[in-house]
Amino acid sequence: MILVSACLCGINTKYNGENNLSQGVLKLIRKEKMIPICPEQLGGLTTPRKPCEICGGTGGDVLDRKAIVITSDGKNVTDNFLRGAYETLNLAKAFNIRKAILKSKSPSCGYNKIYDGSFKRNIIKGNGVTTELLIKNGVKIYTEEDISSGSKV
């Protein structure tokens, strides 16, 4: 069983009410048992919603309450992001999930690279909040970029 960002499966969970359908992920869904999740929805945010970025650090800093997540109009949504991350972890534990395919660069699902909080599309090294929590709990992370470049999951 593999966790997957819902937006990569073509489900309209993205902040603008659309999705990030990945053809590679779509192919994999037909072969593997996968559970689509959207941590931002699980954290109580609406769809559509304002875009969000981590401000002052990375997902790990948010988990340690050393950085916050804000919307593009300045609202602090850190608690929603933390709730979504822990709900995702609950699900991963319930199904004994060891692998996840998550959407690159997202403040929740990003792996190795995220936006820097300026809303200017600047990238920094780091993980999203949910990704970081899953890694800390032994889940191996892949992105849609790995899947389209042919990485085995």
Q: Which residues bind ligand SF4 (CB under 6 A)?
A: 5-7, 13-14, 38-40, 103, 106, 108-109
Q: At closest approach, how far in Å is the CB of 39 from ligand SF4?
A: 5
Task: Provide the residue type at 92 as one letter.
Answer: A
Q: At closest approach, how far in Å is the CB of 99 from ligand SF4?
A: 16
Q: At closest approach, how far in Å is the CB of 82 from ligand SF4?
A: 13
> Looking at beta carbons only, is 12 or 32 nearer to ligand SF4?
12
Task: Give the pair of three-digit tokens for residue 109.
Answer: 């699902």
> Looking at beta carbons only, is 14 or 53 nearer to ligand SF4?
14
> Looking at beta carbons only, is 40 or 132 nearer to ligand SF4?
40
Whole-angstrom CA distances from 49 to 11, 16, 41, 53, 124 are 15, 6, 10, 12, 23
Alpha carbons within 13 A on the beta-carbon side of 38: 21
In terms of phi and psi (left: phi > 0; alpha: psi -120 to 50; beta: otherwise), the region of 5 is beta
> Is the separation of the CB atoms in 83 and 43 below 8 Å?
yes
> Is the separation of the CB atoms in 3 and 139 below 8 Å?
yes
Q: At closest approach, how far in Å is the CB of 139 from ligand SF4?
A: 14
Q: At closest approach, how far in Å is the CB of 10 from ligand SF4?
A: 11
Rounded Cα distance, 64 and 62, in Å? 5
